[in-house]
Amino acid sequence: MPGDLCIAFIGGGNMARSLIGGLLHKGFAATRIHVADPSAAQLELLRQHYSVHTTSDNANAVQSTQMVVFAVKPQAFRDAVRPLAAALTKTRPLIISIAAGIAEPDIRRWLGYDAAIVRVMPNTPALHSAGAAALYANHFVSVEQRVLAENLFKAVGIALWVDDERHMDAITAVSGSGPAYFFLLMEILEAAAGELGLPPEIACKLVQQTAYGAARMALESKEDAATLRKQVTSPGGTTAAALSVLQEAQLRGIFLRALTAARDRGAELSREFGRESA
Ligand SMILES: NC(=O)c1ccc[n+]([C@@H]2O[C@H](COP(=O)([O-])OP(=O)(O)OC[C@H]3O[C@@H](n4cnc5c(N)ncnc54)[C@H](OP(=O)(O)O)[C@@H]3O)[C@@H](O)[C@H]2O)c1
């Protein structure tokens, strides 16, 4: 990141905090970060933990910044953007949106000029520098701005570009909501281990380490997930017995339905808080 870059965050909640933590960890100066949020408690937390500039006035935060990250909920997005349009038209910073379902044309319409916009779908493991973010840039984003956006998300995990905004709802379903699926699976495994008589603390530790170990194997191996699964499944063995029950229960179909529901909800949010709201 260039040493003279200033970044403003509109909304100082969970995702903003994880990105700020990542930036500071990479050596970005706290004095170059400005955060606006309506909650005094939230701002106090940000000052104490990160020593960044804080304000309850959004217009104040975006003054003289080259990058503005909108980190508010989708339902709060339009009301956060519109009052800043006049100020942003003058300074033309890179606009980054991490809101699920808010489409780039809507953000551009609310801003009222040909804004350089990068739409991003991050996820919560960013809090532990293990995030997975997908980024989409509109035509007005320069090569230098692409690098800035990419570096922001690489500070807290991996950052991958997509060149079609239509992929964003599917990405929201896969990696934006994805941590919850893995947590649910861990919860289910822990409960089942309890039913099989294991003490809860043993079950919890075994499940957590198994999830971590499987993820590491998948990341560090050249094989795909299907091959790794086959490699740990001996014919007629214990794993095969478990997997055949999951197969009979149509687990793949269940996941397809779940991800389709998440993707469709993303599209619905877009209609609810974007295109249909003037
Ligand atoms: N958390 C995730 O897993 C995740 C994953 C991917 C993407 N995202 C996206 O990231 C965005 C932020 O999520 P989050 O979990 O960080 O939400 P969050 O913790 O609720 O943070 C949002 C913050 O923005 C504040 N805010 C609301 N209206 C504002 C305004 N007009 N100006 C300035 N600040 C305002 C909120 O204050 P109040 O609470 O007082 O309203 C809140 O402190 C969402 O759009 C979400 O879709 C989140």
Digit-coded pLDDT (tens) for 98-147: 998 899 999 999 999 999 999 999 998 998 889 999 999 999 999 999 99
The verdict on the CB of residue 37 being under 6 Å from ligand 1 is yes
Determine the distance separating the centroid of ligand 1 and the alpha carbon of 176, expressed in angstroms: 14
The rounded distance, in Å, linking the Cα atoms of 18 and 13 is 9
Whole-angstrom Cα Rg for the chain? 21
Q: Bridge-partner residues for 132, per DSSP?
A: 158
Whether 276 has a pLDDT exceeding 60, the answer reads: no
Which amino acid is present at 50?
Y
Determine the distance separating the centroid of ligand 1 and the alpha carbon of 72, expressed in angstroms: 3
Which domains are assigned to the chain?
7-171 (3.40.50.720), 176-265 (1.10.3730.10)
Ligand 1, atom 30: closest residue by C-alpha: 80
Q: Which atom, in ligand 1's list, is nearest to the CA of 16?
A: 16
The pLDDT of residue 275: 65
The verdict on the CB of residue 12 being under 6 Å from ligand 1 is yes
The verdict on the CB of residue 10 being under 6 Å from ligand 1 is yes
The pLDDT of residue 277: 54
Determine the distance separating the centroid of ligand 1 and the alpha carbon of 172, expressed in angstroms: 15
Write out pLDDT tens, residues 231-261.
999 999 999 999 999 999 999 999 999 999 9
Ligand 1, atom 18: closest residue by C-alpha: 13
Strand bridging mode 117-121 / 131-137: antiparallel
Ligand 1, atom 17: closest residue by C-alpha: 13
The pLDDT of residue 195: 97
Q: What is the pTM of this model?
A: 0.91
Which amino acid is present at 79?
D
Q: Which atom, in ligand 1's list, is nearest to the CA of 74?
A: 45
Mutation probe of ligand 1 site: the residue of 19, 73, 183 with most atoms within 8 A of C-beta: 73
The pLDDT of residue 166: 93
Write out pLDDT tens, residues 156-191.
999 999 999 999 999 999 999 999 999 999 999 999
The pLDDT of residue 278: 52
Which amino acid is present at 110?
W
Which residue shows structure tokens 């990341």?
A: 219
Determine the distance separating the centroid of ligand 1 and the alpha carbon of 13, expressed in angstroms: 5
Average pLDDT in the chain: 94
Determine the distance separating the centroid of ligand 1 and the alpha carbon of 14, expressed in angstroms: 7
Whether 10 has a pLDDT exceeding 70, the answer reads: yes
CA neighbor of 181 nearest in space, from 225, 136, 222, 124: 124
The verdict on the CB of residue 142 being under 6 Å from ligand 1 is no
Mutation probe of ligand 1 site: the residue of 57, 72, 120 with most atoms within 8 A of C-beta: 72
Whether 22 has a pLDDT exceeding 90, the answer reads: no
Q: Which atom, in ligand 1's list, is nearest to the CA of 39?
A: 40
Per the CB < 8 A criterion, the answer to whether 87 and 25 are in contact is no
The pLDDT of residue 230: 97
Write out pLDDT tens, residues 38-92.
999 999 999 999 999 999 999 999 998 999 999 999 999 999 999 999 999 999 9
The verdict on the CB of residue 149 being under 6 Å from ligand 1 is no
